[in-house]
Amino acid sequence: MLTLAQRYLVIGMTTLLLGYATTASASGLDADQQLSDALEQAMPSLVSSQDYWSASKLSFQLAAARKRLKETAAACTALLQSLIYYRKGLAKATGAPIDEAVSVSSNDEGLAEVSSKFGCANMRPELSAGLETARY
């Protein structure tokens, strides 16, 4: 099982990524749409190369762009995908089984706070179930 310090790292990284995505956002709906399209095009190559850290960051940025476009369902899907890639990256980096990476972030209150900022009220059951299917 991962340590308490690693749990706080997960919460801290999520908060940091949320702050980064909101400050680095482009203005205007057209710019957000272009950003979303570019991020979606870049995603398959990252996933196929198993660069899960970058895939997680890009998915989070995609979630932020979708939120600004008022596409809540798409934002929640991208946010969930970001967490899945984060867990895979954590498991790959630590050599721990994916189950441990899932257990670290499945009950964090910080995760609930972040998902609520995106309007993802029903995301909790999917995370508790340990959803691991990639959509890219």
Please give the tally of structural domains in the chain.
1
Measure the CA–CA gap between 135 and 76, rounded to whole angstroms.
13
How many C-beta neighbours within 10 Å does residue 129 have?
10
Q: Which two tokens stand for residue 94?
A: 């630590």
Query: Is the entire prediction scored with pTM above 0.85?
Result: no
* pLDDT value at residue 53: 92
Is residue 95 domain-resident?
yes
Measure the CA–CA gap between 103 and 108, rounded to whole angstroms.
9
Is residue 9 domain-resident?
no
- The identity of residue 26, as a single letter, is A
* pLDDT value at residue 11: 57
Is residue 97 domain-resident?
yes
Burial class (CB in 10 A: 0-12, 13-18, 19+), 59: buried
Is residue 134 domain-resident?
no
Is residue 15 domain-resident?
no
Is residue 2 domain-resident?
no
* pLDDT value at residue 73: 92
Which range of residues forms the domain containing residue 48? 29-128
Is residue 90 domain-resident?
yes
Is residue 49 domain-resident?
yes
Residues 6+ apart with CB under 8 A from 133: 84
pLDDT in tens, the chain (136 residues): 446 555 555 555 555 555 555 555 445 778 888 988 988 898 899 899 999 999 999 999 999 999 999 999 999 999 999 988 988 998 888 887 877 766 665 556 777 788 888 888 766 545 544 444 433 3
| Secondary element (H or E) of residue 111 | helix 109-117
